[in-house]
Structure 1
Amino acid sequence: MSTPATGQELGAFLRAHRALLQPADVGLAATGRRRTPGLRREEVASLSGVGLAWYTWLEQGRVSASRQVLEAVGRALRLDAAGLRHAMRLAGHHEPVPVDTDRAAAGRLAGTVRPVLDSWPASPAVLVDRHFDLLAWNAAWAALWGAPEAVPADRRNLMWLMAVDRRLRGVLPDWEPLAMNVFQHFRAQAGPALADPRTDQVYRRLEADAPELRHWWGCHSVAELTARTVLVEPPASAPSASPSAPSTPSTTRPRWSCCSPRPPPPTPPGWATWPPARRARRPEYQQPHRPHCPHQPLLCGSRRCARPPGG
Structure 2
Amino acid sequence: MDRASKRTELASFLRVRRSRLAPSSVGLPSGTRRRTPGLRREEVALLAGVGVSWYTWLEQGRDIHVSEGLLERLSQALDLDHVERSHLFELAQGRPPPPSRRSDAPTEVVSDMLQHAIDAHPNPVVVSTTRWDVLALNTPAEALWGDRRGMNSLCFMFEENPLQPRTPEASAHARNMVARFRYEAGRAADRAPFDQLASELGKRSPEFRALWDAHEVVATPEGAKVVHHPAVGDIELDHIVLLHVEPDGRMLRVTIYTPRPGVSAARARIAYAAHVTD
TM-score normalized by structure 2? 0.50
2:167 and 2:138 mapped to 1: Cα distance?
19
1:258 and 1:232 mapped to 2: Cα distance?
14
One-letter identity of the residue aligned with 1:260: T
Residue of structure 1 in register with 2:210 after alignment: 215
Residue of structure 2 in register with 1:138 after alignment: 138
Deviation at 1:255, TM superposition (A): 1.6
**Alignment deviations for residues 227-283 of structure 1 (CA, whole Å, 9 cap, x no partner):** 234333222103332221211568x711200112235569xxxxxxxxxxxxxxxxx
What pairs with 1:42-61 in structure 2 (closer than 5 Å)?
Answer: none
Give the unaligned 5+ runs of structure 2: 1-91, 265-278
One-letter identity of the residue aligned with 2:124: P
Residue 206, structure 1, aligned to residue 184, structure 2: no
- The 1:101/1:95 distance shift into structure 2, 3 A limit, reads same
Deviation at 1:179, TM superposition (A): 1.7
Residue of structure 2 in register with 1:161 after alignment: 156
**CA radius of gyration, larger in:** 2
Report the secondary structure of 1:105's partner residue: coil
Residue of structure 2 in register with 1:255 after alignment: 253
One-letter identity of the residue aligned with 2:255: S
**Alignment deviations for residues 127-156 of structure 1 (CA, whole Å, 9 cap, x no partner):** 11111111111121122123215xxx4xx1
Contact kept? 2:179, 2:212, Cα under 8 Å: no
One-letter identity of the residue aligned with 1:114: Q
Contact kept? 1:173, 1:231, Cα under 8 Å: no
Aligned length, in residue pairs? 168
Give the unaligned 5+ runs of structure 1: 1-91, 267-311
Residue of structure 1 in register with 2:183 after alignment: 188
One-letter identity of the residue aligned with 2:161: R
Contact kept? 2:124, 2:141, Cα under 8 Å: yes
One-letter identity of the residue aligned with 1:119: A
What pairs with 1:92-103 in structure 2 (closer than 5 Å)?
Answer: 94-101=94-101
Residue 240, structure 1, aligned to residue 235, structure 2: yes
Query: Greater share of strand residues, 1 or 2?
Result: 2
- The 1:216/1:246 distance shift into structure 2, 3 A limit, reads same
Residue of structure 2 in register with 1:109 after alignment: 110
**Alignment deviations for residues 156-210 of structure 1 (CA, whole Å, 9 cap, x no partner):** 112222222229x899872121121121111011114486442233112311221
Contact kept? 1:94, 1:192, Cα under 8 Å: no
- The 1:141/1:199 distance shift into structure 2, 3 A limit, reads same
Residue 148, structure 1, aligned to residue 148, structure 2: yes
- The 1:224/1:196 distance shift into structure 2, 3 A limit, reads closer
Contact kept? 1:229, 1:241, Cα under 8 Å: yes
1:202 and 1:263 mapped to 2: Cα distance?
36
2:182 and 2:123 mapped to 1: Cα distance?
27
Report the secondary structure of 1:233's partner residue: strand
- The 1:116/1:166 distance shift into structure 2, 3 A limit, reads farther
2:183 and 2:142 mapped to 1: Cα distance?
27
Deviation at 1:110, TM superposition (A): 4.6
TM-score normalized by structure 1? 0.46
Superposed CA RMSD: 3.5
Deviation at 1:99, TM superposition (A): 2.2
Contact kept? 1:171, 1:234, Cα under 8 Å: no
Contact kept? 1:123, 1:140, Cα under 8 Å: yes
Residue of structure 2 in register with 1:288 after alignment: none
One-letter identity of the residue aligned with 1:216: L
- The 1:111/1:160 distance shift into structure 2, 3 A limit, reads farther
Contact kept? 1:144, 1:235, Cα under 8 Å: no
2:145 and 2:94 mapped to 1: Cα distance?
34
Percent of pairs with identical residues: 24
Residue of structure 1 in register with 2:120 after alignment: 119
Q: Which has the higher contact order (CA 8 A, sep 6+)?
A: 1
2:128 and 2:107 mapped to 1: Cα distance?
10
- The 1:180/1:144 distance shift into structure 2, 3 A limit, reads same
One-letter identity of the residue aligned with 2:228: E
- The 1:230/1:197 distance shift into structure 2, 3 A limit, reads closer
